[in-house]
Chains A and B, each alone.
Chain A
Amino acid sequence: MILPIIELAGLHKEYGIQPSSVVALRDVSLSIEKGEFVAIMGASGSGKSTLMNILGCLDVPTKGTYRLLGEEVGILNRDELAKIRNIRIGFVFQSFNLLARTSALENVELPLLYNSSVSPKSARQRALSALSMVDLSDRSHHSPQELSGGQQQRVAIARAIVNDPILILADEPTGNLDSAKSEEIMAIFQDLNNRGITIVLVTHEEDIALCCKRKIMFRDGHLVNDAMIPHQRVCSPAKEIS
């Protein structure tokens, strides 16, 4: 039997100290297999960001277990979590979160800087090929402020895939982009998904969710709906005019 990429059982997350604590996630159980493309939806405050933080190993659950490729994550310390983030997970944020005044190439190289098994020379090679996968080879020496929003998000995606992760977590990746650029970003995600990378994506937009294969709804910290999307909408990689 193939291990699921993500396996959540009875996941519970509370912030603060009782009795004034806030419960962000209540008894969430969920399993995501390799190659899935999951959209997570819900109003703000529904617990999706908390879930993403836990899935991304940036936070640990208060109760319940989270297994990433069968490995229990809740018991790991800060540095072990950092290591998992580095080699297993790629992050894409709504606000891109690129380092300012740093070239696209160096931004993409950043995760490899913290991976001691990659030499500086092969880091450069891998960063260049990641940039070419998002079609930005000609912008490798531009800094983020010299790039458009769509291009910045493509640099962020290149950064997310440079360490060959098994899982990409995207927190509203199209939230700051217009529909044409959103389409383009989703096309890249679909391409990566077709190459076998598992993607979990948070979105508010229904038509973005329709580009995924599975949709999970959250409300008040509860998982309320989990369904496959019958007809995945295929996004066309329209060329961006820059």
Chain B
Amino acid sequence: MRALTVTTIAFRSIRRNPLRSILTMLGIVIGVGAVIAMLGVGKGAKDAIRSQIAALGTNVVMVMPGAFTSSGARVEAGTTSRLTLEDIRAIQSSCPAVAHVSPIARSGAQLKYSNQNWRTSVYGAYPGYFDIRDWRVAEGSAFTDVEERASAKVCVIGATVALNLCGEQSAVGAVIRIRNLPFKVIGVLAEKGQNATGQDQDDIVIAPFSTVQKKLTGSIFVNSIITSAISSTSIDDARSQINEAMVAQRKGVGGDGVDYTIRTQTELASTAESTAKTMSMLLASIAAVSLLVGGIGIMNIMLVSVAERTREIGIRMAVGAQGFDILTQFLIESIVLSVLGGIAGIVFGVSTALGIGILQHWPVAVSISSIALGFGFSFVIGVFFGWYPARRASRLNPIVALRYE
């Protein structure tokens, strides 16, 4: 029996019951749609997370106060910071895998300039901070070790701060007041946008660490330490060297064990990616369930179709159709049904993925391979769930089938 003729017969029988065929396809439509949307959104989210993690800086290793897993209980981070400049010096002197080190002192502060007010976070850091975070200064320049040593009242401000204090005017050279202390703006940072948690990374003021420590926080402790490894392959080395330096430092002063946590950029990335993975898994399970249900629906309808057309099968067998001819006819019908559902599912999935992308401002990446996968899935389901009904049709006894009313 010729493929074209069989396909024509299949289409004709599907057209004969349009509503039934559409309802049968629905499971496949949703299943394939979920597969495509899952892959599109998952890929997009992964790309987005990658770029956000990259925005954190290059090869970053952070030291945060507080042991996150002290006796199995999480100690509140940041409440009792015991990181000091001694730790910075220890890292600087004994960690060859570390390229840059900077303490961070953070303080919320009210800013004033002319008649504008703005509340933001003021970060105190070493000049190396800009290298660690891979943060360019768009206008003006960053401060240097000279300003750091002199505790100069200069600062570099983020784009959001610049916009809110100075509007469209250039902020460089302006003298702003931070908690009523005058600071000269010497640079404006390049825009970074939002981070992974939606925080505006441009809403920041960075000043020399010594200045912030003396004038704003007044504490001998630092909030955290940020360092960068010399290369992406030496992140783990940097981590262990920092740990050794910190432990040695604590022994020297008679401290009591580990009161800090070291986090690397790769660890942060994998945490964030696991969130995206959870989302993908959810969509994958929706896809799996609806493909299964859709397949069972196709099997059900094919069994009904075989029963309805028993007499037709008998006629075909009487005029010489062999078991294989009948098997092919019904198998192709189920494949056509499933693949039509698959095509509708591809359209549905692509538009869902694009819709999510537009609504959530997510970079969605629908790939050709995911479309091919959706198509393949629907084909396989057509074969798998159409097999039993088709086989049953092909094994009918022609005499019984001819007499069937």
Contacts and interface: CB of A to CB of B under 8 A. Distances in A.
A193 interface: no
B325 A114 contact: yes
A86 B323 CA distance: 13
A91 B323 contact: no
Contacts of B321: 82, 86, 113-114
B402 A97 contact: yes
Contacts of A101: 16
Contacts of A91: 318-319
Given A58-B398, A120-B2, A99 B320 contact: no
Given A59-B399, A99-B312, A83 B319 contact: no
A79 B5 contact: no
A110 B311 contact: no
A176 to B, nearest CB: 15
A180 B44 CA distance: 77
B315 interface: yes
Interface in A78-124: 78-79, 82-83, 85-87, 91, 93, 97-101, 110-111, 113-115, 120
A79 B316 contact: no
A126 interface: no
Q: Which of A86, A101, A159 has the most CB of B within 10 A?
A: A86
Interface in B191-243: none
Q: Which of A56, A91, A114 has the most CB of B within 10 A?
A: A114
Nearest to B405: A95
Interface in B1-47: 1-2, 5, 16
B323 A115 contact: no
A125 to B, nearest CB: 16
B322 A97 contact: no
**Interface size of B as a range:** 20 to 34
Contact of A86 (B2, B319, B324): B319
B320 to A, nearest CB: 2
Contacts of A129: none
B64 interface: no
Interface string B121-164: 00000000000000000000000000000000000000000000
Interface residues of A, number: 26
A228 B319 CA distance: 30
Contacts of B315: 97-99, 110
A117 to B, nearest CB: 12
Contacts of A53: 399
B317 interface: yes
Contacts of B325: 114
Interface in B358-402: 398-399, 402
A78 B323 contact: yes
Nearest to B319: A111
Contact of A110 (B16, B319, B399, B402): B319
Given A56-B318, A86-B320, A87-B320, A114 B5 contact: no
Contacts of B402: 58, 93, 97
Contacts of B312: 99-100
Contacts of A56: 318
Contact of A114 (B314, B322, B398): B322
B320 A58 contact: no
Contacts of B322: 78-79, 82-83, 114
Interface string A219-234: 0000000000000000
Given A78-B322, A79-B324, A110 B316 contact: yes
Nearest to A119: B2
A159 B319 CA distance: 9
Contacts of A83: 320, 322
A225 to B, nearest CB: 26
Contact of B399 (A58, A78, A97, A111): A58
A85 B318 CA distance: 7
A114 B319 contact: yes
B318 A114 contact: no
Contact of A82 (B311, B314, B320, B399): B320
Contacts of A59: 399
A97 B403 CA distance: 10
A208 to B, nearest CB: 22
A163 B318 CA distance: 13
A158 to B, nearest CB: 12
Interface of B: 1-2, 5, 16, 311-312, 314-325, 398-399, 402
13 contacts: A58-B318, A78-B322, A79-B322, A85-B318, A86-B321, A97-B311, A97-B314, A97-B315, A100-B312, A113-B1, A113-B321, A120-B5, A163-B320
Given A86-B319, A86-B321, 9 more contacts: A78-B323, A79-B324, A82-B323, A91-B319, A111-B319, A113-B1, A114-B316, A114-B319, A115-B320
Closest 3 CB pairs of A and B: A86-B320, A111-B319, A114-B320
